Amino acid sequence: MSIHKSLLISSKLKRHRNVLKRGERIEILAKKGIWKEESSVFGLPKVLAGAKMKKVVKVKEKKEEGKEEAK
């Protein structure tokens, strides 16, 4: 017999989410220095989520390193 889906281990139930909650978006924007306490929580800019965001950061770091080496 197999295990019912509702009885699976919680770590297997976690999946990558493409859409972030407002609080999660604010945390990311605050780390980047884009969002400030006096800013409105409505109309937040889009934020990349998860693995894609990590790849974009790595690419930007490589570009910055290349610019520094060229100087």
Q: What is the DSSP letter of 38?
A: T
Q: What are the Cα distances from residue 48, in Å, to 5, 35, 51, 71?
A: 30, 15, 9, 30
Residue 57 binned pLDDT confidence (cut-offs 50, 70, 90): low
Q: Name residue, tokens 């990558």.
A: 16
Enter the tokens of residue 9: 């281990």
Q: pTM value?
A: 0.49
pLDDT in tens, 16-53: 778 888 888 898 889 888 888 888 888 888 888 765 55
